[in-house]
Chains A and B, each alone.
Chain A
Amino acid sequence: MADFKECSLQAMLKGMRDGDFSSRELTSFFLDRIDALEGRIHAFLSLKPESALQQADRADALYVEWRAKKRASIPSLLGLPIAVKDVLCVDGFPCTCGSRILENFHPPFNATSVQRLLDEGVIIVGKTNMDEFAMGSSTENSAFGPTHNPWNVEHVPGGSSGGSAAAVAARMIPAALATDTGGSVRQPASFCGVTGIKPTYGRVSRYGLIAYGSSLDTAGVMAHSAQDVEMLLRVMAGFDPRDATTSDLPVFSPLEDQNDLHGLRIGLPMEYFIEGIQPEVDVAVKEAVRQLEQHGAQVLQVSLPHTRYALPVYYLIAPAEASANLARFDGVRYGLRVEEEDLIPMYLRTRGRGFGAEVKRRIMLGTYALSAGYYDAYYGQAQKVRTLIKQDFEKAFEFVDVIAAPIAPTTAFKLGQHTDDPLAMYLEDVFTLPANLAGVPGLAFPVGFDGNGLPIGMQLMGPQFSEQNLFRAASVYQSFTDFHQRVPLDVQ
């Protein structure tokens, strides 16, 4: 059987169109990888291998008809196997959000981002593990056990989309949907050495994305190259009447082949290169920027002076929004119910037992920040400082087109390293939170490895709706580097 570990999505689709291999062969290859590796990685919360193979056979039949000219066209992603983070609703799969409270929840509809990919013929193989309700930076907060980093199984894959990142990195699936509220696409992409986009807020519909922080939540995707990620995002993106915050701006046009960045101004924000950052991360990111400069980009220093306030702002706004959003899990319409004679005790027991420690912590924090007497000092002040953070980006983007920065202060840490200290875990997010607060896109991709063989990622951020520029720069970088193509030794 062919080896698809280093095959791009574009090459997979071309191979199926040309009849070089079938969707069944492609899908079986990844199902076999999952069989062999899932015991060590635990990237998935549910899998439907038989259904995936049936869909592959149907796709293959369509390809045969199309090649025989019995049908005029075929969907653009026909027969491509993918995985979906377990926070996005897929009809036919449970959707647990990594939580006991939704352990048996079967959504009766598809998220819009998922539906658009299905309409183009993708095959959903499984749902990936995550920190409960997307709250976490290591996937250790999953109620169903942590995911392990394929580069070293004693290390975390990052989070909250750790299952998606680990599955893509280990070539258990060629691409996976993920979401990013405070860094949950970019940080696991960085820890696992894959390419992932957190789009502009409003670029991709949130319909069917189980809400955490509604003013921050975005749905994105991970694969191995900027070109592949761009191709999938283009399908997912665009106005959706079911999400009033989606933009009706036209979706970007396909990426063109090029290897020159003349005219692109890249900013290096001084606040992201600080003491405490792992020296190898600092060096790798600066080296990547230097190489982009050699390919024609102009590099300038910029300042985002309110960066250090992003952490306190985020950890007030996101929990406040979460405390309201998660009020819907009350044992009435779906999910766990702990039976009680009276209503209030039923609520208390159901939620006390159904939610894990981090989710309860954030609900408590958010409830406090919104409670009478504290609202102005905490939530109100955080919303005002959010304005300052957004303005920092607007001012910087008067001088540069793209901002390049590290994603996390360190490479993947060990399982258990931060589990006793929530604040230390929150500090992992310092470089990813600002993009969510400002609503700007961020593209993560690998730019090196540390001394222990763990991947180092970099993010490019741009003005709202400038994804095309980020994909262009990363694509040029990936044309002369091979970090994005490396396969973890442990799982080869």
Chain B
Amino acid sequence: MSLSRKEVEHIALLARLELSDEEIIRYADQLSAILEHVAALQELETEHIPPTSSVLPLRSGLRSDEPRPGLDTSRALQNAPDSEKDQFRVPPVLD
């Protein structure tokens, strides 16, 4: 299993990571080696094995719909890189 430069660039874009040329070359090598190692899983027959997404029996997390105190706006915004009028401010999303 070997990843091409193009594949690495595609994954990096999906993951919203800007990578340098040097990083792209290094990750292509390293990710290929890791994928080769994890390929060992393919040798197991698992057609009838259910997947595990949680080790505990899932139960409903619903609670009664009653108002209760939460973070006030100033604390919720205290870490914002940019905010205006009690809202997070971001660069334009639409052209």
A residues apposed to B, CB below 8 Å = 104-106, 108-109, 201-202, 215, 241, 244-245, 247, 308-309, 311-313, 315-316, 323, 327, 330-337, 340-344, 346-349, 351-353, 355, 357, 360-361, 363-365, 367-368, 371, 377-378, 380-388, 390, 422-423, 426, 437-439, 464
Contacts and interface: CB of A to CB of B under 8 A. Distances in A.
Contacts of A371: 11, 14
A34 to B, nearest CB: 27
Contacts of A422: 30, 33-34
Given A332-B90, A343-B93, A215 B11 contact: no
Interface in B10-62: 11-19, 23, 27, 30-31, 33-35, 37-42, 44, 46, 49-56, 59, 61
Contacts of B8: 364
B55 A332 contact: no
25 contacts: A215-B53, A215-B55, A241-B63, A244-B61, A245-B56, A311-B37, A334-B79, A343-B92, A343-B93, A344-B16, A346-B90, A357-B23, A361-B27, A364-B8, A364-B11, A364-B15, A364-B31, A371-B11, A384-B51, A388-B46, A422-B30, A423-B30, A438-B55, A464-B55, A464-B56
B71 A108 contact: yes
B41 A381 contact: yes
A386 B51 contact: yes
Contact of B78 (A108, A330, A342, A388): A108
Nearest to A202: B56
Contacts of B54: 215, 245
Contacts of A109: 71
Interface residues of B, number: 50
Interface of B: 3, 8, 11-19, 23, 27, 30-31, 33-35, 37-42, 44, 46, 49-56, 59, 61, 63, 71, 75-76, 78-82, 88, 90-93
Given A364-B31, A383-B51, A384-B46, A332 B56 contact: no
